[in-house]
Amino acid sequence: MNWTAFAVFIIFFIFVTVLGFIAARWRRADLNHLEEWGLAGRRFGTLITWFLVGGDLYTAYTFIAVPALMYGAGALGFYAVPYTIVVYPMFLLILPRFWSVAKQHGYVTASDFIEGRFGDKLLSLAIALTGIVATMPYIALQLTGMQAVISAIGIGGDWPLIIAFIILALYTYTSGLRAPAMIAVVKDLMIYITVIVSVIVIPMKLGGFGHIFHAAAVALPTHNPPGTAILSPKQYATYGTLAFGSALALFLYPHALTGVFSASSRRVVKRNMALLPAYSFALGIVALLGFMALAAGVHAKSTSQAVPLLFLKEFPSWFAGFGFAAIAIGALVPAAIMSIAASNLFTRNIYKTYFAKGASSEHEARVAKIVSLLVKVGALVFILGFPQQYAISMQQVGGILILQTVPALVLGLYTRWFHRRALLIGWLVGIVYGIYMWGTTGYKSTTYTLHLFGDSVAGYAGIWALVLNVVVVVVLTLLFRAANLSNGSDQTSHSDYHVEASL
């Protein structure tokens, strides 16, 4: 047990826990209404939205999973940097439209939009189930990050994780989206301090970046399987498809859309697409911590422990504890938002649609609070049932699923040409094929090798599944339109996608 690191860690953990409960009184409103509990009344301005969405997207994935992949596999882990660069120009075109139509019609979830746009409860249900299930491994990734930190401090057993889990569940239940929004401000400031100190102090102690890259290049080929400091030509397709697929998926996750829908205006969403790349710069630096761990001679039983062990080795115990707190809080914030987003989907698009059509706002909020607790339990089950060599695989598994919503959610924002039944069948084909590809690896990798025309191309299973999905959607749309099958009704109008001010 490193008592100094533990003491600092506990102080900051208690501080953000108190903030989580105080948040219920921040911008006081009736939290017995789903829009207030799950979207904070759509009142967050540019700064709070920046912290919230940033805290939502840059998580234990950033500090644990990406450096872990760099530590174990090498240059392939850098795919996370270009994907978080190209994602913002793409979604600058998409998210303002999404926010506007959601504001105009009071949509809380993506599935609300699908039902309004296509008049199809089955397609709406498919999108809701996909969002909920895809969120499970992402929450599991956050819990993995917390496990790595707790283990590095020297605390044995699962009880610390269970305690943290219970505390997270309680203040999420009590304060809703306001809790992670308030905590995100503290979390992001702590992470930026940790990143700045890391990029200055650790390279100085290790002899500079030249030595770090050289040491990593020497160490990586000795791993099983071997890693490389520079991408080999065989990895180009994997690197490219992982980057592009992850970029397409990022803002379609329920938690990302929840953060966007909580913004106070369309203009706030646009500003955040311009400001959020600041986090991408930090991610590029954080990724290098994996190489720094190799250069420092860190020997980790699990790749997820690389960064915590590096901090213990290169920093005084008090600052290591500060860094651990930043990572743990960086896991709690997104885990809270993810559980809220998943519970919103269940309550609005499954429970209310199929089990309690006349549910009041208070009834909706009560069910959502309970489901937010159950979602976290599901994430724990995922960790136990599908152990991954690299924690980042948990995010990639979620990406396989959420990518299959691209035709309905993204293309549906611009056109109703695609037939609703074709979208549903394409979604099903993509999901089944994506899971099949993941299953062929024994559920250990999301990379799948296609054999086409005598050539082999290894790439991200999510992209292969999406390509098949789109082909099926286009072909079936042509057939269904030729057969003059009903395509449902559209509750939205052209002007709904350009709403700016509050109604």
Per-residue pLDDT tens listing for the chain (503 residues): 788 998 999 999 889 888 888 887 777 777 778 888 888 888 899 999 998 888 777 777 678 888 988 999 999 989 989 998 899 999 999 999 999 999 999 999 999 999 999 999 999 999 999 999 998 878 877 877 787 888 888 876 667 767 777 787 788 888 888 888 888 888 889 888 998 999 999 999 999 999 999 999 999 999 888 999 999 898 999 999 999 999 999 999 999 999 999 999 999 999 999 999 888 888 888 899 999 999 999 998 888 889 999 999 999 999 999 999 988 888 888 888 888 999 999 999 999 989 888 888 788 888 988 888 888 777 666 665 655 555 567 778 889 999 999 999 999 999 999 999 999 999 999 999 999 999 998 888 889 999 877 788 999 999 999 999 999 999 999 999 999 999 989 999 999 998 875 44
Q: How far is C-alpha 111 from the chain's CA centre?
A: 18
Residue where the block lists tokens 């990734």: 141
Q: How far apart are CA 379 and CA 391, in angstroms?
A: 13
Q: How far apart are CA 125 and CA 213, in angstroms?
A: 48
Helix (H) or strand (E) run with residue 450 in it = strand 447-452
Within 10 A of 231 (CB to CB), how many other CB atoms are there?
A: 15
Closest CA relative to residue 484, chosen from 433, 436, 430, 421: 421
Query: Which distant-in-sequence residues (6+ apart) come within 8 Å of 501 by Cβ?
Result: 265
User: Encoding tokens for residue 455?
Assistant: 């050539």
Helix (H) or strand (E) run with residue 448 in it = strand 447-452
Give me the CATH topology for the region 3-393: Sodium/glucose cotransporter (1.20.1730)
227-234: list long-range contacts, CB under 8 Å, 24+ apart: 227/72, 227/73, 227/74, 227/75, 227/76, 228/73, 228/74, 228/75, 228/76, 229/74, 229/75, 229/291, 230/74, 230/75, 231/75, 231/76, 234/458
> Phi and psi dihedrals of 452, rounded to 5?
-125, 125
Closest CA relative to residue 271, chosen from 54, 450, 118: 54
Q: How far is CA 359 from CA 112, 363, 365, in A?
A: 16, 6, 10
Angle between helices 159-175 and 178-206 (to 10 degrees): 140
Q: Which runs of E-coded beta strand occur in 134-239?
A: none
